[in-house]
Amino acid sequence: MTPDDPIIGVKAAFEREVSRRFGVMPNFFCSASAAPGLIEELWAFAKSAFLDNPLPSLFKERLFVHLSRFCEVRYCIIRHVGFLIGKGWPAGDPKARPQTIQQVITLLQRPLPDAKALAGVFDRLESHEQPMDIPVAGTQAEHDLFDALTVMFLEPVRWERAREGVRRAVGDGRFELLTAFLAFVRTAHFWTETHPELAIEPDMLSVLEKHEMLARLLLDRSEAERVKAGEALRQTLAKLEDVEASLRLSRETLKVAMQSAGLFAWEIDRATRYMKITGDPRSAFGFDVSPDDQERFVHVHPEDLPYVKDACEAIFAGKTPCDLEHRVVNPTTGEVMWAHWTGRLVTETGRTKLVGITRNITSRKNADLQRNEVETALRESKEQFRWLASIVEFSDDAIVSKNLDGIITSWNKGAERLFGYLAEEAVGKSVTILIPPERLGEETEILERIRRGDRIEHYETVRRRKDGGLIDVSLTISPMEGAEGKLVGASKIARDITERKRSEAQISVLAREAEHRAKNLLANVGAMVQLSQADTPDGLKKAIAGRIAALASVHSLFAQSRGTGAELGSLVMQELAPYSRDDRMRAQIDGPTVVLKPDLAQAIGVAVHELATNAAKYGALSVPDGQVRVEWSPAADGRVVLRWTEAGGPPVNPPTRKGFGTHVMEVMIRSHQRGDVHLDWHAEGLVCEIALPA
């Protein structure tokens, strides 16, 4: 291999990572070179169970050293003592404070407890009412935890009291972290025992040379050999007793157990395919199974036969595990059943056999089928329920349910928006929180009808919001039945019809207003017709048409304001628009915004029309350079005064008699309370003041 070889690059990266974590490169992670990738997997285990385990770093390293006293190969204890004294980092943590040589010697010299002392350890651990924190080094709490963990480490199966004592002392979470840690320590010990060629690193050889007592403790294998020999003997005897007891029980009960369980055992020679059967296939399926390979398949369901044969070949070839389910047919009754074959390949004295059991799983398959049908129906039901719940939840209408006592049991978002109560404020309260006091009798009647099973549709009434405001609603109320078909309450859909009611009321008002205005308009037209005079029929016709046109213009402004009135500035501008020249108004208009009521607007519209018509005939608007100024402002008496001033027209002489236009203006303006008209005929032009009631 060359330095550029990818394998060398991967190895170098791995060694850098290990060195970065430990502060040194342990020989432990330089082993197993014959199996590329294996040591990396062990490294992953080391990180998860040891380095990245969230237990305190110093506690982990001290416990690792303590447990390594019981490993015959001394590599682990020497290397981890090195980490503990600063030759590297304790548990891979550069922030962990190293221990002194004397502290390590004290740790190594601590004796294992005898039976009496161990009982005290368990008593103290079991006395914890709440899980404790991981103890600091050298304390009694650390000693107790180390002793119990040592028992778990050496006798993990038998000493349940040790496990439960640790669990009670540190809690379930830390117990599992400790268990993972112990598993890695056991793995590390096994690895060093199976790789005795692992060499002690130079840094620790130097330490051993300098510290004789430490070296004597670290290199003494007697404790590990004594504990391991006793443990092995105890485990061997226990396993032997367990195996013998199991064999005795098996011989006595195997046949009965297989028969009652509806199964039989078998072994099939891979070379001859001959099957030896233990038990009775008839107890499982009601017919015998032939030991012959060809006849054995006659009971397999025809549709499953190709699959079964292919699976058997793959199983015998070792390509797939023996875990096979298929249908069989009873040759006598024609009943279709399900068989489950499970087993494994075993090689003994040079011959390979497939050994296993077969059981009738028809009941399970039928149950699975029924469960699938139920789950499908349930899934569809849940989907439909979610769909309906979504409709209810996001409906604009308030959808509420209540029991037969009128207590609210559900409350959707629409109800929150309509009534102002959040769901947590409304659920559990009486529905009367929504009913005005004068309408409480409605709820009694509604509940009586619901108890009779009646459905109430489009019941229009008034309900009360959280803020006390009243709203018009249309109610639809339906009885609700429980799972047993009994009446349990009612569902109520409330739709806000406030806008509809308001629109209906507005339409009614507008209809009356239209009737009133039509009568007023016809009265005004009739009065103008009666008062209009002219020298010729055409003149009379033209005068009447102009005045009616003025009324029509005012009414167009009413339409823009939806009948509320007409703005004075817009009315004046509209009347003077025909007298503009070159897109420039010949009138100056100035005044604040004033909205005139319909009747008054009609009068002002006719008055301005008369003034403009007179100015066009005889006044300022009859010559090209004439100007008209129209301005209005509020007066001290609360009225609005409109002033019409003409300038630049022909000289003006006061009239010898009151003209018809003047008469029309005075009649229409003075017909309103506090309305008045005053005209001054100055030589420069007419000045007219009209006082309007505000």
Q: Which stretches of the chain score pLDDT less than 70? A: 1-8, 158, 223-262, 348-350, 377-378, 380-381, 383-394, 483, 505-535, 537-564, 580-585, 660
Last residue of a domain, one of 501, 521, 554: 501
| Pair 173, 290 in one domain | no
The answer to whether residue 433 sits within a structural domain is yes
The answer to whether residue 233 sits within a structural domain is no
The torsion region of residue 624 among left (phi > 0), alpha (psi -120 to 50) and beta comes to alpha
Identify the CATH number of the domain in which residue 288 sits: 3.30.450.20
Identify the CATH number of the domain in which residue 136 sits: 1.20.1290
pLDDT of residue 540: 56
Q: Amino acid letter at 82? A: G
Nearest to 112 by CA among 146, 137, 61: 146
Judged by DSSP in three states, 157 sits in: coil
The answer to whether residue 172 sits within a structural domain is yes
| Pair 473, 536 in one domain | no
pLDDT of residue 464: 92
| Pair 164, 51 in one domain | yes
CA distance 665 to 609: 9
Measured N-to-C along each axis, helices 568-576 and 598-617 cross at an angle, to the nearest 10 degrees, of 30
The count of structural domains within the chain is 4
- Other beta carbons within 10 angstroms of residue 394's beta carbon come to 10
Q: In what order do the strands lie in the sheet with 640-647?
A: 587-590, 627-634, 640-647, 685-692, 676-682
pLDDT of residue 250: 57
Element (H, E) at 180: helix 172-194
Last residue of a domain, one of 438, 469, 501: 501
For residue 335 the two structure tokens come to 């009943």
| Pair 21, 154 in one domain | yes
| Pair 571, 659 in one domain | yes
| Pair 439, 563 in one domain | no
The torsion region of residue 576 among left (phi > 0), alpha (psi -120 to 50) and beta comes to alpha
Question: Exposed, middle or buried by CB within 10 Å (0-12, 13-18, 19+), for 661?
Answer: buried
Q: Are 352 and 345 in contact (CB under 8 A)?
A: yes
CA distance 688 to 393: 67
| Pair 626, 657 in one domain | yes
The answer to whether residue 572 sits within a structural domain is yes
Nearest to 683 by CA among 643, 653, 648, 646: 653
Identify the CATH number of the domain in which residue 649 sits: 3.30.565.10
CA angle (500, 504, 508) in 5-degree steps? 170
pLDDT of residue 629: 95
Judged by DSSP in three states, 520 sits in: helix
For residue 72 the two structure tokens come to 């015959």
In the chain, count of helices (H) and strands (E)?
Answer: 23, 17
pLDDT of residue 528: 46
pLDDT of residue 394: 66
107-112 contacts at long range (C-beta below 8 A, 24 or more positions apart): 107/62, 107/65, 107/66, 108/65, 108/69, 108/81, 108/214, 108/217, 108/218, 109/217, 110/66, 110/143, 110/146, 112/147, 112/150
CA distance 565 to 383: 57
In angstroms, what is the C-alpha Rg of the chain?
53
Q: Amino acid letter at 253? A: T
- pTM tops 0.75, yes or no: no
Q: Are 615 and 621 in contact (CB under 8 A)?
A: yes
- Other beta carbons within 10 angstroms of residue 430's beta carbon come to 14
The answer to whether residue 637 sits within a structural domain is yes
pLDDT of residue 173: 95
Cβ neighbours of residue 607 closer than 8 Å, sequence gap 6 or more: 665, 668, 669, 677, 690
Instruction: Give how far Cα 661 sits from Cα of 230, 606, 611, Å.
Output: 135, 9, 8
pLDDT of residue 232: 40
The answer to whether residue 187 sits within a structural domain is yes
For residue 433 the two structure tokens come to 């929180």
CA distance 51 to 57: 8
The answer to whether residue 70 sits within a structural domain is yes
Backbone angles phi and psi of 130, in degrees to 5:
-125, 150
Question: Exposed, middle or buried by CB within 10 Å (0-12, 13-18, 19+), for 303?
Answer: exposed
pLDDT of residue 599: 80
| Pair 519, 494 in one domain | no
CA distance 12 to 1: 14
Element (H, E) at 12: helix 6-22
| Pair 489, 548 in one domain | no
pLDDT of residue 248: 47
Helix, strand, coil share (%) of the chain residues, nearest 5? 55, 20, 25
Last residue of a domain, one of 449, 481, 501: 501
Cβ neighbours of residue 643 closer than 8 Å, sequence gap 6 or more: 629, 630, 631, 632, 687, 688, 689
The answer to whether residue 548 sits within a structural domain is yes
Element (H, E) at 186: helix 172-194
| Pair 495, 549 in one domain | no
Judged by DSSP in three states, 129 sits in: coil
pLDDT of residue 516: 44
Q: List the domain range (segments joined by +) for residue 123.
A: 17-220
| Pair 496, 524 in one domain | no
| Pair 215, 298 in one domain | no
